[in-house]
């Protein structure tokens, strides 16, 4: 639902939209490269760091 999507990381939503918009205009290889860049952006975002800290604190 829209509420579930809204609860996800904003950068993840933005990157997903960007990737979806570009799928018809890029080759498979270029799309894979774009997805790698998006994963890196999302993975190093402040939201991702906060989530990782929260996850690791629960593991102890």
Percent of the chain topping pLDDT 90: 40
**Of 2 and 17, which is predicted with more confidence?**
17
| 17-44: pLDDT as tens digits | 999 999 888 999 999 999 999 999 988 9
Average of pLDDT values for 1-16?
A: 80
Q: Are 48 and 42 spatial neighbours (Cβ–Cβ below 8 Å)?
A: yes
pLDDT reported for residue 37? 94
pLDDT reported for residue 60? 61
Print burial letters for 37-51: b (CB count within 10 Å at least 16), e (below 16): ebeeebeebeeeeee
pLDDT reported for residue 34? 94
CA separation for the pair 51, 6 (Å, rounded): 16
Q: Are 54 and 16 spatial neighbours (Cβ–Cβ below 8 Å)?
A: no
């Amino acid at each position: 639902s829209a509420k579930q999507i809204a609860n996800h990381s904003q950068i993840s939503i933005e990157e997903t939209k960007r990737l979806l918009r570009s799928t018809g205009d890029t080759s498979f290889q270029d799309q894979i490269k774009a997805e790698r860049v998006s994963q890196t952006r999302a993975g190093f975002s402040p939201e991702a760091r906060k989530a990782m800290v929260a996850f690791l604190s629960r593991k102890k």
